[in-house]
Amino acid sequence: MADYFERLNYALGDEDTALEFAILPPRARHVVGVAGSGGRLLPLLARNPARMTCIDVSAPQLAFTRLRFALLEQTDYTSFMDFMGYHPGVLPSRRQSILEQLDLPRVDRHWLAEFFQTRHWQAPIYMGAFEQTLQRLAKVNRLFTGGAGREIFQCCDLGEQSDYYRTRFPLRRWRAVISLLGNAAVLNSLLYKGSFPPNNLGISSRAAYLDIFHTLFNTQIVRESFFLQMLFFGELRYPEGFPLECDPRIFKRAREAIQQCELRIVQADIIDCAAKHTDVDFVSLSDVPSFMPQVAGTSVLQRLRPSLADEALLVMRGHLHIVQPDCAGFCDITAQYQEAIAREKTQLWRVQVYRQTTPLQVSR
């Protein structure tokens, strides 16, 4: 497990933060969340929280998080998009110049400069182990499904896309790709270094992935999914599928909000860090509980409870491993967000949303 956290695993990420953005109320007092690469939490600043604590155990992930927030606060929208790699054809000298102008901790600056240098200053959003895994899978996908697979991205509406998927999409060859993608041993080898949480869904990983992609192809315009773009092209080609941090309105609001927000970026276990507070009213746990031992995962809500303000909201995700937490003192309100969950652009996640109930509500 230690090896997994000693490298940059995510630069773009595997979650659609638009979901947490839809759940987070405006002007929260204290937002606590897993940092990831910064892209998970940066858009949440547009909701104007008074405080935000970004937590991760991985030093490389935190370096990328501080980089993202520095770009937000110290540059402009065009520079952010150029540096991160959302705009194609940006020269390495442009990225070097932007990084040199940023006020960053010395350790971060040194690590980032060396990291980017070894990768020839190419687009940072593709530099995580997850993104590089998707690029390798995209090559396999291209060999199997060819132009007929990529042609689905030319569909302009859901009706046309569903018809193409049903009648012309190379479904048999796609299923062969899924056999690779749905192989937990392959994912363990390519990405998780033996730390992939075991499947507890009651169905095979392959069946789970077939269902995920069947849902995506039939309910969402595929070019609006950054995840599907990565899986078919190994890069982002269609701006309508860019993650929420690329929305200029969100960027502007987040840039304004960071001037007033008390922002902390902490290397720690998120449960231990949260325990130092008593005012947290929104927690974004990502899939951290999936990686916990069973007893710890089951007790995650109870361990967090002393840190929470009344009516606090918690969002947790599970991929092939779903944690069923002890919900005493909490109300499962996932059903209230089904529309937002259905719009999530990866559909990789089983999402659980909980609200802490007040003592009065518990007594009822």
Residue with the two structure tokens 């929305």: 247
Q: Are residues 211 and 199 in the same domain?
A: yes
**Entry pTM:** 0.93
Q: Are residues 219 and 309 in the same domain?
A: no
pLDDT, residue 13, reads 93
Tell me: do 237 and 248 sit in the same domain. no
Per-residue pLDDT of the chain (364 residues; tens, 9 = 90+): 445 557 899 999 999 999 999 999 999 999 999 999 999 999 999 999 999 999 999 999 999 999 999 999 999 999 999 999 999 999 999 999 999 999 999 999 999 999 999 999 999 999 999 999 899 999 999 999 999 999 999 999 999 999 999 999 999 999 999 887 766 555 555 555 556 788 999 998 889 999 999 999 999 999 999 999 999 999 999 999 999 999 999 999 999 999 999 999 999 999 999 999 999 999 999 999 999 999 999 999 999 999 999 999 999 999 999 999 999 999 999 999 999 999 999 999 999 999 999 643 443 3
Give the pLDDT confidence score for residue 364 in this predicted structure: 35
pLDDT for position 360:
34
Locate tokens 């947790």: which residue?
316
The last residue of one of the domains, among 191, 223, 241, is 241
Domain shared by 10 and 114, yes or no: yes
Residue 363 pLDDT:
37
Please identify, among 203, 218, 241, the residue that sits at the C-terminal boundary of a domain. Answer: 241
Q: Looking at the structure, do residues 153 and 114 belong to the same domain, yes or no?
A: no
User: What was the pLDDT predicted at 168?
Assistant: 97
Enclosing domain of residue 181: 135-241
Q: Does residue 130 fall inside a structural domain?
A: no
pLDDT at residue 75, as a whole number? 98
| In a shared domain, residues 297 and 200 | no
Does residue 329 sit within a domain?
Answer: yes
Q: What CATH number is given to the structural domain containing 16?
A: 3.40.50.150
Same-domain status, 212 and 321: no
Which of 241, 265, 300 is a domain's end point?
241
78 occurs within a structural domain: yes
Q: For the chain, what is the domain count?
A: 2
Two structure tokens written together for 320: 């092939």
Angle between helix 77-84 and helix 92-101 axes, rounded to 10 deg: 120
What is the pLDDT, as a whole number, of residue 6? 73
Residue 129 lies in a domain: no
